[in-house]
């Protein structure tokens, strides 16, 4: 099977690897190459294809190896694997890289509940030290003054903003955001279905039908087409005889190639999308966890918003915020004229008038005022309709300080610039660097998802 390699990805990674093995005069280059982006878009797989094409030896580290019950073990492991890669260059005379998959999952801090251990601190410090001194990497308890070969480090992850900021600065890490465009998606999906005889028109139909899906969706779709034959095999031999016919048998079962019809692929893919939506929409944690129900903020009155400010936007935003922030927001959103905040949902309270001359509804303006009064930073994020379900938001500037009219004007301008996108208001606690509010305030007209 011939897989597709994105030219953009190939150029970025090949240049970084090659440049680190060249002796360019008076040029200081970052040692670490960070590939980040949405889940399931093939970041690691594209790297592996490029390594194979370039003939590069790879030494792997998983993000799960960056924590240990023994302090210092992950940092020592990084140094050891780096030296192993340098030894491969010396012995084989070929390029080598050290690859760390899912670095943010092993060393990132996602919120205040993420434990910051000694190992996390040492991992960050070790990677920074290696990036600054790539030819002098020592193991604890020993010292060897023989210079090592410079080994490029390639790391993958979803959100590098969770990493220690000095580690990801430009002098140490070159960042590459991987988001396959339409040509890339057509090429990659065409490579996945290359053995199955699908034409270019079939590939285009498939990609256009599931345009919001990540690349790994199509690999899972191809695998699922074989389920029908496997079910027939199980029924033919009997469930109780499957093991003896599959494991340690001299004649393993064989399956003919299914008919990869486009309509059948779309039907199976639609079922997979429905399962994804069930997972996203069930939200059983809200039903089972009474603590969340008791501390949930009361949604504002639906009538206070014009049609594009859908009422669903305020229903499911604060479920996972810390209790003290959920409680503060609940009080913040309560009407001063009502002694019991719970009465807001049932009593006939006249909603505040809409400031039609402002892009921001009055309720949103009041939220901004309350956040500013408590010393929180405010900002907005937006996302187009395609990336809304994948939660790939982009940021307008977060505003800390400034007068109320200036802040409202800046936020209103951000909203006015993105009338075709989903827009949400965010509140930032400057002390803990944590979000205390994520609330969708605008949806494109006609979009209720």
pTM of the model: 0.63
For residue 342, give the CATH number of its domain.
Answer: 3.30.190.10
Q: Of 83, 78, 85, give the one whose Cα is nearest residue 56.
A: 85
Q: Is 73 in the same domain as 156? A: yes
Q: Which domain, by its residues, includes 375?
A: 295-442
Distance between CA 262 and CA 199 in Å, rounded? Answer: 10
For residue 99, give the CATH number of its domain.
Answer: 3.40.50.300
Residue 150 falls inside a structural domain: yes
Q: Is 237 in the same domain as 379? A: no
- Are 380 and 426 in contact by the 8 Å Cβ rule? The answer is yes
Q: SS3 of 392, please?
A: coil
Residue 392, exposed/middle/buried by CB under 10 A (0-12, 13-18, 19+)? middle
Residue 368, exposed/middle/buried by CB under 10 A (0-12, 13-18, 19+)? buried
Q: Is 127 in the same domain as 201? A: no
For 269, other C-beta atoms within 10 Å of its C-beta total: 20
Q: Is 111 in the same domain as 252? A: no
- Are 134 and 89 in contact by the 8 Å Cβ rule? The answer is no
Domain stops at, among 145, 177, 209: 177
Q: Tell me the backbone φ, ψ of residue 56, rounded to 5 degrees.
A: -95, 135
Report the domain count for the chain.
3
Distance between CA 413 and CA 405 in Å, rounded? Answer: 12
Q: Is 216 in the same domain as 244? A: yes
Q: Is 223 in the same domain as 168? A: no
Residuewise pLDDT in 10s, the chain (449 residues): 578 999 999 999 999 999 999 988 888 899 999 999 999 999 999 999 999 999 999 999 999 899 888 888 999 999 999 999 999 999 999 999 999 999 998 888 876 666 678 888 999 999 999 999 999 999 888 888 889 999 999 999 999 988 999 999 999 999 999 999 999 999 999 999 988 888 899 999 999 999 889 999 999 999 999 998 899 999 999 999 999 889 988 888 888 888 888 999 999 999 999 998 888 777 676 667 655 554 444 443 333 344 444 433 333 343 333 333 434 444 444 434 434 434 433 334 444 433 334 568 888 888 888 888 888 888 888 888 877 877 778 888 777 777 888 888 888 888 888 888 888 888 888 877 778 888 888 888 655 55
Can you spell out the DSSP letters for 41-78? S-HHHHHHHHHHHHT-EEEEEEGGGG--SSTTHHHHHH
Residue 288 falls inside a structural domain: no
Q: Is 122 in the same domain as 36? A: yes
Q: Residue 106: enclosing H or E segment and its boundaries?
A: helix 103-107
Q: Is 164 in the same domain as 88? A: yes
Q: Is 67 in the same domain as 114? A: yes
Residue 210 falls inside a structural domain: yes
Q: Is 398 in the same domain as 306? A: yes
Residue 437 falls inside a structural domain: yes
Distance between CA 422 and CA 442 in Å, rounded? Answer: 6
Residue 258 falls inside a structural domain: yes
For residue 276, give the CATH number of its domain.
Answer: 1.10.8.1070
Q: Is 187 in the same domain as 172? A: no
Q: Tell me the backbone φ, ψ of residue 412, rounded to 5 degrees.
A: -65, -35
Predicted confidence (pLDDT) per residue in 67-97, tens digit: 888 888 999 999 999 999 999 999 999 999 9
Predicted confidence (pLDDT) per residue in 38-72, tens digit: 999 999 999 999 999 999 999 999 998 998 888 88
Can you spell out the DSSP letters for 239-274? GGGHHHHHSS-SS----PPP---HHHHHHHHHHHHH
Residue 449 falls inside a structural domain: no
Domain stops at, among 162, 177, 192: 177
């Amino acid at each position: 099977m011939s897989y597709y390699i994105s030219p953009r990805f190939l150029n970025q990674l090949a240049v970084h690897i090659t440049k680190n093995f060249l002796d360019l005069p008076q040029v200081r280059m970052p040692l670490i190459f960070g590939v980040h982006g949405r889940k399931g878009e093939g970041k690691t797989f594209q790297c592996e294809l490029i390594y194979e094409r370039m003939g590069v030896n790879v030494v792997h580290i998983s993000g799960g190896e960056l924590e240990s019950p023994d302090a210092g073990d992950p940092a020592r492991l990084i140094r050891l694997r780096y030296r192993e890669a340098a030894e491969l260059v010396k012995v084989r005379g070929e390029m080598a890289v050290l690859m760390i998959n899912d670095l943010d999952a092993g060393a990132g801090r996602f919120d205040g509940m993420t434990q910051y251990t000694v190992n996390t601190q040492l991992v960050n410090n070790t990677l920074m030290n290696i990036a600054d001194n790539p030819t002098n990497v020592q193991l604890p308890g020993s010292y060897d003054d023989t210079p090592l070969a410079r080994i490029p480090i390639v790391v993958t992850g979803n959100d590098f903003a969770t990493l220690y900021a000095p580690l990801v600065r430009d002098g140490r890490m070159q960042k590459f955001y991987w988001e396959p465009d339409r040509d890339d998606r057509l090429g990659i999906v065409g490579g996945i279905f290359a053995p199955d005889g699908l034409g270019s028109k079939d590939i285009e139909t498939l990609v256009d039908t599931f345009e919001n899906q990540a690349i790994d969706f199509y690999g899972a779709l191809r695998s699922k087409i074989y389920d029908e034959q496997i079910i027939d095999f199980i029924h033919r031999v009997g469930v109780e005889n499957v093991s003896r016919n599959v494991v340690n048998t001299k004649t393993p079962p064989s399956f003919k190639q299914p008919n990869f019809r486009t309509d059948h692929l779309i039907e199976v893919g639609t079922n997979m999308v429905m399962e994804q939506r069930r997972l996203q929409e069930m939200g059983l944690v809200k039903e089972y966890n009474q603590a969340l129900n008791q501390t949930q903020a009361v949604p504002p009155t639906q009538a206070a918003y014009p049609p594009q400010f859908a009422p669903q936007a305020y229903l499911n935003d604060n479920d996972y915020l810390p209790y003290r922030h959920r409680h503060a927001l609940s009080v913040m959103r309560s009407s001063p004229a009502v002694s019991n905040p719970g009465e807001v949902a049932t009593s006939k309270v006249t909603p505040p008038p809409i400031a039609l001359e402002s892009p921001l509804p009055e309720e949103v303006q009041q939220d901004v005022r309350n956040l500013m009064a408590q010393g929180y930073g405010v900002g907005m994020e937006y996302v187009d309709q395609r990336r809304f379900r994948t939660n790939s938001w982009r940021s307008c500037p977060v505003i800390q300080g400034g007068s109320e009219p200036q802040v409202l004007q800046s936020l209103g301008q951000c909203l006015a610039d993105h009338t075709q996108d989903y827009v949400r208001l965010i509140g930032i606690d400057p002390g803990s660097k944590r979000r205390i509010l994520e609330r969708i305030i605008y949806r494109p007209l006609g979009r209720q998802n």
